[in-house]
Amino acid sequence: YAILSHRWGDEVGYKEMTGLMKMEERKRDAVRQRSGYQKIIQSCEQASKDGYELLWIDTCCIDKRSSSELSEAINSMYRWYQNAQVCYAYLHDVDESVFPTEQDRDKFSESDGWPEWFMRGWTLQELIAPKQVEFFNKDWVPIGNKRHLAPTLERVTGIPWEVLKDGLGAKRLCVAQIMSWAAGRKTTRVEDQAYSLMGLFRVNMPMLYGEGKKAFQRLQLEIIRVSSD
């Protein structure tokens, strides 16, 4: 299967996706005009073109009404990205047909001069976990892959090129070094700053949305349980 990594915007959720054909026509058309729906369709077209039968997208493949399903998904997320044959990284704010290699604070003023995808918490593991990551601009034009762009990606993210090419096992890493890659990244929910790092440290813990910054304390305790660093 292929898997999508992207920045969330006006998305279509699981309930809407599964209920689409039962909706009245006007409401269905409104859903289909959303940028999030177009992103699903274009991702599917790309996956089909590349010969994949299945595509997994977090927006519409997790029923977030079920807390147990959400918790399982978050705890399994790193493994799902790792097991995908390819990850499509969709950079919605890149117009050019080449990958940006220089900081542009005028164009990407909200995200330190780089595409917004690089400043989000969840996309850190989505960059590292899959063996193959293909980058696309806003029009779904391919603009490079993780292996060939590794030197540029190292400059943007601080992640060593060996890790980008061959995963976390490629280089001896301390906890502080992995943590530093997440330092400038943002998440919509405070708790996700911790939850989005679980896979990188190979730990699991229950989701408690509402706990705020305590989530990060729990993450540190879980890391201490498995690491002598």
What mean pLDDT value characterizes the chain?
A: 95
Q: Which position has the token pair 């700053």?
A: 193
* Proportion of the chain above pLDDT 70, given as a percent: 100
* Proportion of the chain above pLDDT 90, given as a percent: 95
Q: Whole-prediction pTM value?
A: 0.94
The Cα 145–Cα 32 span in angstroms is 29
Number of CB atoms found within 10 A of residue 3's CB: 28
The tens digit of pLDDT for each residue in 98-126 reads 999 999 999 999 899 999 999 999 999 99
The tens digit of pLDDT for each residue in 150-171 reads 999 999 999 999 999 999 988 8
Number of CB atoms found within 10 A of residue 114's CB: 21
Number of CB atoms found within 10 A of residue 58's CB: 21
Residue 155 has a pLDDT of 95
Does 141 have pLDDT greater than 90? yes
For residues 195-212, average pLDDT: 96
Dihedral sign (CA 120, 124, 125, 126): positive
Q: For residues 144-164, b (16+ Cβ closer than 10 Å) or e, as one string?
A: bbbeebbebbeebbebebebb
Residue 19 has a pLDDT of 94
